[in-house]
Amino acid sequence: MKKSLRVLTAFLAMIAAGSAWAVGPDARGETYINLFGGNTFFDQAAGLGLGSGNNGGVVGVRLGHRIDAHLGVEAQVAAAFAHLQGEVKGGNAGQYSGAVIGNLYAFASPSTPYLSLGLGASSNLFGNRLGRSTELMGVFGVGYQQLLGRHFGLRLDVQDQMLFNAPVLGGQNLNDVQVTGGLSYFWGGSERKAFPVIGPKGQ
């Protein structure tokens, strides 16, 4: 847990320091789809019996909407393939997760750092003895989004997904840090309006 919080804090500091040039059109009202991939890292605490391969690839998709200049909401689904089953050689965790996430954007433009908070569920295969189980999942993360042209953008996310009541820990919480990058496509949104020029009276 402490390690994942340090990663999130360092990442947030980095994007905050480099976001001074993040300018662009007003993004409110925008809808987007984001395809992402990356890596997932499960806690490797002593006594878990998860084996040494507690990380693996992750892929997923997000569909979101920018409600206001600094607030957005999105649905996220993902599949992760960490090797959690130490007793099943070559087996994958087969983690499938879904969450509803709220994003708090630092700037009104599409190019901006943001903070993510969400709630969802995670279905995991922890091993042949425990089998598949589904846990409530909380999401805390930070990210940065960079606009490329009018409709496309790049996105980088670091999420700490906390699985509540994980059976592998006897009902304790299990942290899963996901580091992902992806491509977004935007549509809709409001256009930046120019201020009207008011001439002198009588003209």
Number of domains in the chain: 1
Strand, helix or coil for residue 187? strand
What pLDDT digit, counting tens, does each position of 142-172 carry?
A: 999 999 988 999 999 999 999 898 877 777 8
Residue 153: per-residue pLDDT? 95
Question: Is residue 26 assigned to a domain?
Answer: no
CB atoms within 10 A of CB 185: 12
Question: Is residue 53 assigned to a domain?
Answer: yes
Residue with token string 């020029």: 197
What the block records as the tokens of 197 is 């020029």
Question: Is residue 201 assigned to a domain?
Answer: no
Domain region containing 112: 2-19+31-188
Residue 141 has pLDDT above 60, yes or no: yes
Top-confidence range, 128-132, 153-157, 194-198: 153-157
Which CATH number characterizes residue 56's domain? 2.40.160.20
Residue 73 has pLDDT above 80, yes or no: yes
- Reported as a pLDDT band with limits 50, 70 and 90, residue 125 is confident
Question: Is residue 157 assigned to a domain?
Answer: yes
Distance, CA of 72 to chain centre: 13
What span, in angstroms and rounded, lies between the C-alpha atoms of 152 and 149? 6
Question: Is residue 202 assigned to a domain?
Answer: no
What span, in angstroms and rounded, lies between the C-alpha atoms of 13 and 95? 30
User: How many residues appear in the chain?
Assistant: 203
What share of the chain has pLDDT > 70, as a percent? 68
State mean pLDDT over 30-40: 95
Question: Is residue 177 assigned to a domain?
Answer: yes
Q: Look at residues 48, 77, 83 and name the one whose alpha carbon lies nearest to residue 64.
A: 77
Question: Is residue 94 assigned to a domain?
Answer: yes
Residue 122: per-residue pLDDT? 92
Element (H, E) at 157: strand 152-166
Kindly report the pTM of this predicted structure. 0.77
In single-letter form, the type of residue at position 150 comes to: R
Residue 70 has pLDDT above 70, yes or no: yes
